[in-house]
């Protein structure tokens, strides 16, 4: 049996290689569009190519974590692509210091505190994000993993800019105190 539009998600989740070919054929233009948009300021085609490969490998390895239908799948892999591309951008930007980053929207709202969150070990951040309420959780993911601006998040959720800022502030405070607890317990025992 071959993969088609009705069974490719299931086949991908069962680790059938023809499903991998199917998603590369059908979604590579979306993945490339997403990656190039984020990574073009680095002016390094090698990194773009590496990132695209890595995204498909990630989708393959994590396919079982997807839940939903076909249209949701497209959005899910788009989110993964964006998340990965931003991750690549951050890692490679550090390597090449001379780069001007002012024209990249990902960094438009950088502050010292945001940098701190970014520098934290991602698994720990994910762990802590899990403890937030659904709305705040999505705000944090959009902001820190998908690089969305506060205005965009506000528009999506139908909330004001101020209330998004407020939620981020409170969430950060909570994450901060929980991260401190983790550290304290780790050292105090």
Partner 1 sequence: MKDIYELLNDVDIDDKELEEMKVNDLERARVKKAVKASIHRKKRIWTKGIAAAVIVAGLSTAALGVAFPAYASNIPVIGNIFRFLDIGMGVYQDYKEYSSEINMSQESNGIKFTIKDAIFDGETVSLTYSIDSNRDLGANPIIHGFLDIKDSEGVGGSDKITKVSPNNYVGLLRGTGSHRKGKDTVEFSWNVEGITIQDSKEQIKGNWNFALALKATESKTQLISRQVEHTGVAVNIDKISFTPMSFIVYYDQEVSEKVRSKWGGVDVSLEIKDDLGNVYAGQGNGGSGDSEGYRMQWSTTFEKLDPKATKLMITPHLSLYEYTADNHGSVEITRDGTKEVAIPQKSGKGKEEYTLEDIVIDLKK
Q: Closest approach of Cβ 22 to partner 1, in Å?
A: 11
Residues 149-188 that bind partner 1 (CB under 8 A): 156-157, 178, 182, 185-188
Query: Least separation, in Å, of the C-beta of 58 and partner 1?
Result: 8
Q: Is 134 in the site for partner 1 (CB under 8 A)?
A: yes
Touching partner 1, residues 90-129 (CB under 8 A)? 122, 126-127, 129
Q: For partner 1, which residue of 2, 18, 28, 173 counts as binding (CB under 8 A)?
A: 28
Pattern of binders to partner 1 over 48-77, x per CB under 8 A? -x--xx--xxx-x-x-xxxxxx--x-xxx-
**Taking Cα atoms as reference points, which of 152, 92, 113 lies closest to residue 101?**
92
Q: How far apart are CA 74 and CA 95, in angstroms?
A: 32
**Positive or negative torsion for Cα 87, 91, 152, 35:** negative
List C-alpha distances in Å: 74 to 16, 67, 71, 162.
19, 12, 5, 31
Q: What does the binding site for partner 1 look like in residue numbers (CB under 8 A)?
A: 13, 17, 20-21, 24-25, 28-30, 32-34, 36-37, 49, 52-53, 56-58, 60, 62, 64-69, 72, 74-76, 78-80, 83, 122, 126-127, 129-131, 133-134, 137-138, 141-142, 145-146, 156-157, 178, 182, 185-189
């Amino acid at each position: 049996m071959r993969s088609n539009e009705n069974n490719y998600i299931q086949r991908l989740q069962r680790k059938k290689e023809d499903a991998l070919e199917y998603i590369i054929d059908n979604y590579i233009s979306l993945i490339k569009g997403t990656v190039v948009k984020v990574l073009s300021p680095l002016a390094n085609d090698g990194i773009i190519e590496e990132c695209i490969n890595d995204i498909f490998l990630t989708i393959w390895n994590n396919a079982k974590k997807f839940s939903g239908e076909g249209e949701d799948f497209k959005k899910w892999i788009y989110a993964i692509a964006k998340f990965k591309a931003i991750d690549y951008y951050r890692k490679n930007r550090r390597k090449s210091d001379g780069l001007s980053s002012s024209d990249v929207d990902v960094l438009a709202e950088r502050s010292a505190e945001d940098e701190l969150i970014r520098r934290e070990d991602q698994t720990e951040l994910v762990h802590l994000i899990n403890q937030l309420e659904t709305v705040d959780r999505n705000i944090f993911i959009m902001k820190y993993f998908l690089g969305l601006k506060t205005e965009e998040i506000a528009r999506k959720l139908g909330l004001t800019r101020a209330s998004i800022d407020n939620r981020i502030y409170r969430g950060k405070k909570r994450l901060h105190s929980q991260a401190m607890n983790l550290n304290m317990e780790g050292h105090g025992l």
